[in-house]
Amino acid sequence: MSIPNEALQKLVQEIETQAITAQREINVVKAAVASKQRDVRMLELTATEVKQLSTNTKIYEGVGKMFMFTPTDDVQTRLSSETAELKSDISSLNKKLHYLETTHKNSREHIDHIFKSGGRQ
């Protein structure tokens, strides 16, 4: 049994649209992962620098147009919590990336299968 050309064309267009959308989202997710990894490296570097400071060193953080004194322990706690949050975000983005890559691969395989079978089911 053969599928009519119009239905086959519509099916191929839908699958191709899904593949293109998945590819776009893959690029967005990869950029987000790279950005968050860069932020993690910056936070880890800052945390290393803060740990190397002596205990009586005063640390000031920018707040708007001014700087406020912040205890070293508070800075280290904030840096570690931000790092953990970013790593969690990276983990969830990697899961989303895996899903999107699988979707894209499956869409391409379906299109190839349709073309190879010539519309026969």
Q: Report whether pLDDT(1) > 50.
A: no
Q: Residue 29: which of 94, 111, 84, 114 has the closest Cα? A: 94
Please state the pTM of the whole predicted model: 0.80
Write down the mean pLDDT value for the chain: 90
* Cβ-contact 93, 32 below 8 angstroms: yes
pLDDT, one tens digit per residue, over 32-57 is 999 999 999 999 999 999 999 988 88
Three-state DSSP at 20 gives helix
pLDDT, one tens digit per residue, over 59-102 is 999 999 999 999 999 999 999 999 999 999 999 999 999 999 99
| Structure token digits, residue 8 | 């086959």
Q: Residue 77: which of 51, 99, 54, 107 has the closest Cα? A: 51
Residue 15 DSSP code: H
